Amino acid sequence: MRVGAVSRWWLLLAVPTALLGVGIAWVLADSVGPALVRVLTLSLGSVVLGLGVLSWMSRDDRRPVMSAATLWRGAAGLGGLWALSEAVLFTMTAADVENVEVSRMSGVQFTEFLTDATPGRVGAAAVVCTVAVTAMSAYGFRYGRDLPVVPLIALSAVALVLRPVTGHMSQQVLGSALDAAHALAAATWMGVLAAMALVLNSRGAWATWLPRYSALAWRCVWVLSITGVIDTAVKLGSVVAFYETGYGRIVLAKTLALATLLGLGWWWRRTWVKDAAAHRVSADASLTRAVIEVVAMGVPFGLAAALATTA
């Protein structure tokens, strides 16, 4: 788990920064629901999706970016954690909808939530998708099978968008499509970079893949920006709502965090990407910068999770 002096375990620092984002949202809005668990599901799902997308992008390369064993081992481990966090979120949501403590929720109440409430059916579908991701990945790793990666990407994408597409924007024309695009753009932006940090081991690999990622990342940014503006305009409806409502204040904080990331991305596109493509940056230095960016992304991810659970 090390390249030179840099440990890939440092990617775990994205967890406290994501929790920091949730904490900021709590200060701004007082109540953010089960955002602490939701940001973990978003982060884990994004990395699983990123592994799949990175593998798919190298499908025509003479030397794949990662071996099948590396892909399925990573997807199985992270997928298992993702499935567990989805199950916890599902249970917490059930208790919230039924207005009881988790420990006091009866079987009848849980069944009613599962069969009669939209969040119940959506949450159950998300759990099923993540379990399927984990089972498929574990099978591929255990038996050394060269399975197609598209089902992994599809299942991960469905699990990530199930809640957004059934949220408040689902009542608007094309609202679900916009929210799905927004969620997938964010997951791809973070997930592919995290996947690269996990699997790229050489200066040459970074020289090949960082320019590819840079082009993909800017497309994701455009999708995020356009869908985010539309979503905010529909949800808030007025300028005063930006400072009079908790939702609006979280949106402003998220906008500031994303603007900071865009500034960093613009600078690194002019320096890191250019030098890495010319083989002037070591693998150690590239990994360090990738870790910094992934960790920084944790803050807007935390704010986004809070937005999803804030009225």
**137-184 per-position pLDDT tens digit:** 999 998 877 889 999 999 999 999 998 877 665 566 566 888 899 999
Report the C-alpha dihedral over residues 161, 162, 167, 172, rounded to 10 degrees.
Answer: 70
Residue whose C-alpha is closest to residue 197's, from 54, 97, 311, 42: 54
CA distance 49 to 39: 15
DSSP state at residue 279: T
Summarize pLDDT for 59-102 with one digit per residue, the tens: 888 888 998 999 999 999 999 999 999 999 999 888 888 888 88
Domain 2-303 has what CATH class?
mainly alpha
Decide if 53 contacts 191 (C-beta within 8 A): yes
The residue to which tokens 């840079």 are assigned? 214
**Domain residue spans in the chain?**
2-303
Calpha distance 177→33 (Å, rounded): 24
This model's pTM is above 0.85 = yes
pLDDT (average), residues 219-233: 90
